[in-house]
Structure 1
Amino acid sequence: MWGILIALLSGALMSVQGVFNTELTKQSSLWVSTGWVQFSALLVCIAAWFFTGRQSIGTLARVEHKYILLGGVIGAFITITVIQSMSALGPAKAAMLIVVAQLAVAYLIELMGLFGVDKVEFQWRKLIGMAMAIGGIILFKWEK
């Protein structure tokens, strides 16, 4: 149950953040707003690190697969693409497409067992569920 609540909170925060970042970009620029978002996130992480345990930063140098260190780089591109999609499509349409893309890529990662994730068997019901989500987007976008 806790995981469900956290996932719902995450989705809600992503939508609010996307709207905030899009508006910030309109009032500044894409790279200024993206830089601010990443910098302010760094400050929050440093503060949290000071108050919650102070694990060794040196552990980063010992991670097994160095490509997993690219999460922050990917995060910058996530910020940029969310800003641009929300600006072009509006928050609701952009969020729906973002969620379906997340679902599709996450399922492919599971199916192929990529990045250390346990491999799962293909299930038609999951593919049908994804198709229904895409159908929901079409229905949501449909204008008379």
Structure 2
Amino acid sequence: MITGLVLAAVSGALLSVQNVFNSKVSLRAGTKATTALVLFLGFLASFLIGLGVEGKSMFALQNMQTWYWFSGMLGVGVVVSVVQAVMRLGPTYGISIVMVSQLVYALIMDSLGLMGLEKMAISGKHLVGVLVIVAGILVFKFGGVRKADKA
């Protein structure tokens, strides 16, 4: 469990840094070029690491659902949406909304047992947890000192 927690924390940090980088690249290159660059470099890195670590067994993909093959295409929507959100809302607010959206959809997929997941009952504490996070985002966005108030 500790390893999972550490990996999740590292993932969050890497995603935040990547999204800021992506928004800066997008200012110069545009969203389409940024998306192509990010996904191509991600493919290249994954491919080379996979070959180095797993070798030919990386290509053993029997018994996989056909529609799983298209999951990488979702990355286009992810990169475009997050880059635009960060550019329009700022990193903290944009990523916070992305995080809540991920959490809500993960809860929905878990509770309905979608995509082969084991069905999980949603409890009141799950809903309260999401609402607390949403409340925190609202406090962050609207509860701070405005620039005009500082003057």
- For normalisation by structure 2, the TM-score amounts to 0.89
Paired position in structure 1 for 2:75:
75
- Return the letter of the residue paired with 1:71: S
- Return the letter of the residue paired with 1:114: L
Paired position in structure 2 for 1:37:
38
Structure 2 distance, partners of 1:126, 1:38, is 33
- Return the letter of the residue paired with 1:86: V
Paired position in structure 2 for 1:57:
59
Structure 2 distance, partners of 1:27, 1:63, is 43
**Structure 2 gap ranges (5+):** 147-151
What secondary structure sits across from 1:120 in the alignment? Answer: coil
Structure 2 distance, partners of 1:115, 1:71, is 12
What is the root-mean-square deviation in Å for CA atoms of aligned residues? Answer: 1.2
Identity of aligned residues (%): 26
Q: Structure 1 residue 57: deviation in Å?
A: 2.0
Structure 2 distance, partners of 1:8, 1:142, is 26
Larger radius of gyration: 2
Question: Is the CA contact (8 Å cut-off) linking 2:51 and 2:58 kept in structure 1?
Answer: no
Number of residue pairs aligned between Structure 1 and Structure 2: 142
Superposition misfits of 4+ residues, deviation over 3 angstroms: none
**Structure 1 gap ranges (5+):** none
Is 1:46 aligned with 2:44? Answer: no
What secondary structure sits across from 1:53 in the alignment? Answer: helix
More displaced stretch, 70-79 vs 48-57: 48-57
Structure 1 distance, partners of 2:33, 2:63, is 31
Bigger relative contact order, structure 1 or 2, given CA contacts below 8 A and separation 6+?
A: 1
1:54-82 CA deviation, whole Å, 9 max, x = no partner?
215252xx343212122210111101101
